[in-house]
Amino acid sequence: MYRDNPLTNISWHDFQKLTPEQKGPYFLREDRPYHVLTAQQFSRPMLERICDLTTKIRLIGKTKGGIHFLQDLLSEKRAMLYFVQPSTRTFLSFYAACQILGIAPAEVRDTTTSSEVKGESPEDTVRTFSSYFDLIIMRHPVGGFAERIAWLLSNTNRPIPLLNAGSGKDQHPTQALLDIYTLQRSFESHGGIERKRIAFVGDLGRGRTVRSLATLLLLYPGVRQYFVAPKELQIGDDIIAAIEKAGMEYEVCDDFEQVVPEVDAIYMTRIQDEWDASHESRLTDSNRFHFTAKHLAMLKPDAVLLHPLPRRKEIDVEVDSDPRAIYWRQVRNGMWVRAALMLTIFDRGVEIDRYYEDLVS
């Protein structure tokens, strides 16, 4: 049936046995992302292309004529934002990105208002969306659920792309894309992301943003990753194994203050205690992993401080006004990167290239 969609060529049973790296090609079409489910599905050229489109869209979006041009690009499309876990930035930035491109967005954020309360399976609920929409953007608490739905949709007579906007404790690929874009822009004048030292701090075991970004950083030769956390919240063995397989350097430690002056970027995260069954992370002394004004003095002058947000106490509010604190820039970039990604999925990037050429020539 749909020969151009590789997920039609494999049974769900066989697909589940694949590693994340092996699954990646099944989410692509002609070297472009079709479904966006994992960080592992991206190649370096794909990241470069998404970053390039993002910068062009941002510039085009500065003029009224450009805004109208963008709004016409995907005005024949409708998107369902199915967000059954809390979200502020990811939801709103996708919503705004849809508006930028003329995509009509609709939303389900609360399953008590859908037929799931009547006993309908989440699979049937999501399949229903494909009758009305051209794209599903989904945040779901169950890791791997997005992959199951992508397989399922691909094997119906109305396959549509699925975008993972955060799944369980495992993946948040679009956050990792905006993080890469923000890092690339920050390091533009001093050698790009390659060979930089990047530290992750906080709840690395359950922080899906960290897991996805650590995976994308494997595409940048010479990057050295630091995982700074109490033992109970350390990064998963699968991520360490992937770094070792890539032959890249890393350090696992819990001495935050020793790492601060050494690195080019610090990625702070909150404790993900919504996953706690036994309040184990409340017993952890996480105060040692907070970035305060005192740490600004220790940070390299051209280093940057990131956070996927929401934050709690990990970063003092008084740090926000330092030019090295770039988490509010991440928030804004998220909207443009997500617009670039949706354009890529629907293969409309060339139109951006053309408009941009005219604009700058």
Tell me whether residue 261 or residue 310 sits nearer to ligand NCD (CB atom). 310
In terms of CB distance, is 214 or 352 closer to ligand NCD?
Answer: 214
Q: The tokens 């390299």 sit on which residue?
A: 300
Instruction: List the catalytic residue out of 29, 32, 78, 89.
Output: 89
Smallest separation, CB 80 to ligand NCD (Å): 18
Complex with ligand NCD: residue 35 or 270, whichever CB lies closer: 270
Based on CB atoms, which residue is closest to ligand NCD, 153 or 342? 342
Give the nearer residue to ligand NCD in terms of CB position, either 306 or 352. 306
φ/ψ of 101, rounded to 5, equals: -95, 0
Q: Is 89 a catalytic residue?
A: yes
Catalytic: 158? no
Instruction: In whole angstroms, give the CA distance from residue 178 to residue 31.
Output: 20
- As measured in angstroms, the least distance from the Cβ of 309 to ligand NCD is 5
Q: How far is the CB of 199 from ligand NCD (least distance, A)?
A: 17
User: Closest residue (Cβ) to ligand NCD?
Assistant: 308
Strand partners, 226: 199, 251
The span from the CA of 273 to the CA of 275, in Å, is 5
Residues that bind ligand NCD (CB under 6 A): 89-90, 166, 172, 175, 208-209, 269-270, 308-310
139 is catalytic: yes
Q: Which of 241, 130, 175, 132 is nearest to 36 (CA)?
A: 175
- The structure tokens listed for 229 are 């956390």
Phi, psi angle pair for 239, to nearest 5°: -70, -45
Nearer to ligand NCD, 224 or 270 (CB): 270
Residue type, 11: S
Query: Of 194, 177, 285, whose CA–CA distance to 233 is shortest?
Result: 285
Query: Least CB distance from residue 143 to ligand NCD, whole Å?
Result: 12
What secondary structure, in 3-state letters, does 306-338 show?
Answer: ECCCCCCCCECHHHCCCCCECHHHHHHHHHHHH
Please pick, among 35, 139, 206, 295, the residue that the annotation labels catalytic. Answer: 139
Does the active-site annotation cover 90? yes
* Residues 299/305, Cβ–Cβ less than 8 Å: yes
Residue from 62, 64, 118, 279 carrying the catalytic annotation: 118
Least distance CB 91 / ligand NCD (angstroms): 9
Q: How far is the CB of 256 from ligand NCD (least distance, A)?
A: 18
Residue 118 bears catalytic tag: yes
From 56, 77, 172, 211, the catalytic residue: 172
- In the DSSP assignment, the letter for residue 236 is P
CA atoms within 13 A on the CB side of 77: 23
167 in Cβ contact with 139 (< 8 Å): yes
Count how many residues are written for the chain.
361
Active site residues: 89-90, 118, 139, 172
